[in-house]
A and B are shown apart, each in its own frame.
Chain A
Amino acid sequence: MNFKHKYLFLLPGFIVLLGILIFPIGFTVRLSLSSWDSFFPGLDFIGLENYTRLFTDDPRFWESFQRLSFMSVITVFLQYTIGFALAHMVWKEIKFQRFFRVLFLIPMMTTPVIMTVIWKTVFHESLGPVNDFFSLFGVTPLWLSSEALSKVTVIIVEVWQWTPFMFLLLLAGLLSLPKEPFLAASIDGAGPIRKFVYVTFPLMAPISIGAIIIRLIEASKIMDTVYVLTSGGPGTSSETSSFYIFIKGLREFQFGYSAALSLTYLIIMIISLTIIAKMLVKLMIRN
């Protein structure tokens, strides 16, 4: 049989892949080897100068990466814990089960930027309702203008917005679990806590790992929440890597350097997430 025409069938997919993946990455690599900025537009060639600058003369990027790691780990941990608890709550037959399942999904269905603007108003230190409540107790926390609390506020908004995603994945996982292990556990006299620890949680491990990895990938790109809430401030206390890359690229117009930042960041994330995934498999499945 003649299979030469198979390449014709592969061609549309390949063109799409080229357009949305291969060319942009290739162009970014090339851009990272140039000094393109507002004054020197164009693809000149400066070798690895941008990378040298990044690794020897840009502590701000590494600080922002450290900050991002901290915020994304805390955020995903909270999303997983709360999402699992909510999924577990509506997994079994309870009153208004369908209503709760829809209610818990609402935050994820809203537009993130719009909701962040609303949250900013809510957390406004002078005029927002949160501090109106806290002022009854004589305190006015500086949600957006304190070094520590600004990170907490970003985390709160992210958790509110994306816990439903965890909830959805974990609920789907729970609904797909076989019933037999639970029946066996009941026969053996296991209570709800032992059932959860020895049956539910281990069975949910593969889905949990998938959900955590997906959320870690997304959380590592925290940008719009920071942009709207704090602009990375006060100072640089809530500045994340992606926000820093945005400043370098689109505020300061240092396209070449921000391309180098983006590629380095991508490589670090690929390596980190691969290691984290392996660790999670070892922790949650093999143990």
Chain B
Amino acid sequence: MKKMIKISTLTVTASLIAVAAQADKWSDQFPHIKNTGDIAGECSYESMSKKDYSGQKLTINTHAVPVIGEPTALHAEQFSKLTGAEVNVIHTPAGDLYSKAMVPFQAGQAPYDIVFGFSNFIRDWKQYLQPVPAKYVNMRQMQDVTQSHIDVNSWDGEMIQFPIDGDRHYLKYRKDVIDNPEYQAKYKAETGNELRIPQTWKEYGEMASFFNGWDWDNDGELEYGSAEVMKKDDLMFAAFFSRSVAYAKNPRVPGGYFFDLESMEPLINGPGFVEALTDWVEATKYVPPGGINFGLGDEINSFGGGQTLFSFSWDDAFVAAMQDDSPIKNKVGAAPLPGSDRVWNRSSGAWENEYNQAPYIVWGWTAAVAKASKNQDVAFDYLCFFANDANHQADIAIGRFGVNPFKKSDFVPELYVERQGWDPEIAKQYADTLMEMEEGSTNRVFPLRVPGVFQFNSAIATATSKALAGQLSPQEALDEAAADWKKIVKRIGADTIREAYAIGVALEDNL
């Protein structure tokens, strides 16, 4: 008996040593995964090393470096070393990703095997993309993806795009300021209100204004209230929708958020959206100088560099703030987007004086294989390798990579404490915030994914930017956007858009 126990112990120990030896072997060759080593799976480094794609070539069109472009190139180099495939990566500015792929798609050409883009391209792109084979959908690493992100990458139940990134908008704030007893007392004395994580956009505005334009972190520089993505056409319309969901997404009113599904009348110039834009125009007073021209990169650098009290957008600014080289590491917190004390009911035509909050499952980065690609197997293996557990955990720790959590296993606080040196309280708050948005809410808004989506987004970006610039009032701006949307619906066809929009509405209405 004692001999059997000894043999079992030796066997288990030998297995663990073998696994550890393999983990070291891969992380020695590929320092990117030094924190975890290789993690076993169908698309792990070990698994990929057994494939021989010598003589095969992949061409990938991806975003510019660093956001998504840098990890694409890095994983291409790794994949090439492991499998022998030749991988050619082409970098394209964000605004041109859509057209650069769409032009050859429509011309029947296939210059790219893999195209990276935003997940809301799906309705326009899907006819040119190869659905993800069942083999990958059923893999363990795919089963770990949250349902929201399965939905974002699927069309009518079929996965068309490969999940490689997760996105949502949430609030980021300076914990060292909000939790500071001295500032809490000062804020209470001067405003009569509590300094706390803002529960509504009005509170957000009041606190941001209070902390605007003085040196509240004693670093010798002026700090400001909020860093927001306001630059026209640089994803700013997503920031507008994040502000508007609390006022306009009523959980008791199904049938559409951007349009009334029945009539296909735009809803974006309703009182809820106007209230949000009014708040946003006010926000131009508490952003840093030039903040109205901040793109996503400026927002990441501004909040991540400690210039502002608040920010809200994708994960990147938070991750950048929590990196080892950040001056504000472990001084930031994550929370759901502020809500509102009232929400518009478009059915009754009145405000409901009830607290409302709604997560905006914003579109994020995604990748897909072209239907016309002659190397589909290699292409899907590359994407699977990109998103394997080891690469994914390494990628989400680097803010500039633009890869954010989208797997259930990402929302374990210990991951961030042990691997990235996060404060345990902050790690828990971060994980809880994201998980609550993914799985906890039924009042979600999904991105608009209809034919001609860029025309709709461009119209709303132009209109809201006119309001921010003071060219139009919020109501005038949104009336102009709604008028443009009606023309677009008429040109493309209400039935065509309704058919696509119904799929998104079904997700929002939890059908």
Which chain A residues have a beta carbon within 8 Å of chain B's beta carbons? Answer: 35, 37-41, 57, 60, 124-126, 131, 140, 142-145, 147, 230-237, 247, 250-254
Binds A, one of B77-85, B93-101, B366-374: B93-101
User: A145-B292, A235-B462, A236-B462 given. 4 additional CB < 8 A pairs?
Assistant: A37-B491, A230-B232, A233-B465, A233-B469
Q: Which residues of B contact A38 (CB under 8 A)?
A: 102, 124, 451-452, 454
Within B449-481, the residues touching A (CB, 8 Å) are 451-452, 454-455, 458, 462, 465-472
A37 to B102, CA, bound (A): 10
Hey, which chain B residues are within 8 Å of A57, CB to CB? 487
Q: How far is the CA of A126 from the CA of B302 in the complex (A)?
A: 9
Which of B166-174, B283-291, B332-340 forms contacts with chain A? B283-291
Residue-wise interface mask of B (350-381) relative to A, using a CB-CB cutoff of 8 A (1 in contact, 0 not) = 00000000000000000000000000000000
Q: Tell me if B469 and A235 are in contact (CB < 8 A).
A: yes
B498 at the interface (CB under 8 A from A): no
Q: Say yes or no: B465 contacts A253, CB within 8 Å.
A: no
Q: Which residues of chain B come closer than 8 Å to A231, judged between CB atoms?
A: 231-234
A234-B452 Cα distance, complex, nearest whole Å = 24
Q: Identify which of A39, A41, A147, A250 contacts B470 (C-beta below 8 A).
A: A147
Task: Across the interface, name the chain B residue whose C-beta is closest to A135.
Answer: B289
Determine whether the beta carbon of A253 is less than 8 Å from that of B98: yes
Whether A41 contacts B454 by the Cβ 8 Å rule is no
* Nearest CB in chain A: distance from B75 CB, A: 27
Q: Which residues of A contact B233 (CB under 8 A)?
A: 231-233, 247, 251
Q: How far is the CB of A49 from chain B (nearest CB, A)?
A: 10
Q: Please, how many residues of chain B have a CB less than 8 angstroms from a CB on the other chain?
A: 37
Which 9 A-B residue pairs are closest in the complex by CB-CB distance? A125-B290, A235-B469, A234-B469, A233-B232, A235-B466, A125-B289, A145-B292, A41-B106, A39-B451
Contacts of B96 in A (CB 8 A): 250
B469 touches A147 (CB 8 A): yes
Cross-chain contact B458 with A234 (CB below 8 angstroms): no
A contact residues around B472 at 8 Å (CB):
235
Name B105's closest neighbour in chain A (CB-CB). A41
Determine the residue in chain B with the shortest Cβ distance to A37.
B452
Q: List 6 A-B contacts (CB under 8 A).
A: A126-B290, A145-B292, A235-B466, A236-B466, A253-B98, A253-B124
Given contacts A142-B290, A233-B231, contact A39 B124 (CB under 8 A): yes
A234 and B99 form a contact (CB under 8 A)? no
- When distances are taken between beta carbons in the complex, the residues of chain A under 8 Å from B470 are 147, 235
* C-alpha gap A125/B196 in the complex (Å): 30
Q: Are A235 and B102 also in contact (CB < 8 A) when A38-B451, A253-B454 are?
A: no
Contact call A234/B124, Cβ cutoff below 8 A? no
Inter-chain contact A39/B293, CB cutoff 8 Å: no
B56 interface hit (Cβ, 8 Å): no
Give the shortest distance, in Å, between A45 (CB) and chain B (any CB): 16
Q: What residues of chain B have their CB less than 8 Å away from a CB belonging to chain A?
A: 95-96, 98-99, 102, 106, 124, 231-234, 288-293, 302, 307, 451-452, 454-455, 458, 462, 465-472, 487, 491-492, 496
A1-B102 Cα distance, complex, nearest whole Å: 56
- Complex alpha-carbon distance, A140 and B466, angstroms: 22
Contacts of A143 in B (CB 8 A): 290
Alpha-carbon gap, A124 to B293, bound state (A): 9
Contact A126 B289 (CB under 8 A): yes
Contact A144 B290 (CB under 8 A): yes
The residue on A at minimum CB distance from B302 is A126
Least Cβ–Cβ distance between A55 and chain B, in angstroms: 15
CB-CB under 8 A from B98, the residues of chain A are: 251, 253
Q: How far apart are B213's CB and chain A's nearest CB, in angstroms?
A: 11
Known: A38-B454, A39-B124, A39-B492. Is A250-B289 also a contact (CB below 8 A)?
Answer: no
What A residues does B288 contact at CB under 8 A?
Answer: 125-126
- Bound CA–CA A247/B95 (angstroms): 10
Residues of B with C-beta under 8 A to A37: 452, 455, 491-492
**Residues in A whose Cβ lies below 8 Å from that of B302:** 126
- The CA of A77 and the CA of B468, in the complex, are separated in Å by 32
> When the two chains form their complex, are residues B451 and A234 in contact, meaning their CB atoms are under 8 A apart?
no
A126 and B468 contacting across the interface, CB-CB below 8 Å = no
A131 → B minimal CB distance (Å): 7
- Across the interface, which residues of A come within 8 angstroms of B289, CB to CB? 125-126, 131, 140, 142
Which chain B residue lies CB-closest to A233?
Answer: B232
B307 and A234 within 8 A (CB)? no
Contact, CB under 8 Å: A254 / B291? no
- Whether the pair B231, A252 counts as a contact (CB closer than 8 A) is no
Is B492's CB under 8 angstroms from A234's CB?
A: no
CB-CB under 8 A from A35, the residues of chain B are 491
User: Are B469's CB and A253's CB within 8 A?
Assistant: no
Complexed CA–CA distance, A125 and B289 (Å): 5
| Cα(A37)–Cα(B106), bound, Å | 10
Contact partner, A251, options B99, B467, B491, B496, Cβ 8 Å: B99
Contact of A237 (CB < 8 Å), options: B106, B451, B471: B471
Residues of A within 8 A of B102 (CB): 38, 253
List the B side residues contacting A131 at CB < 8 Å: 289
Instruction: Kindly identify which residue among A40, A124, A126, A235 contacts B307, using a CB–CB cutoff of 8 Å.
Output: A126
A19 to B471, CA, bound (A): 44
Point out the residues of chain B lying under 8 angstroms from A147, CB to CB. 469-471
Q: Which residues of B contact A124 (CB under 8 A)?
A: 290
Contact: B234 with A250, CB < 8 Å?
Answer: no
Q: Which residue of A lies closest to B232 (CB)?
A: A233
Identify which of A144, A232, A253 gathers the most chain B CB atoms within 10 Å of its CB: A253
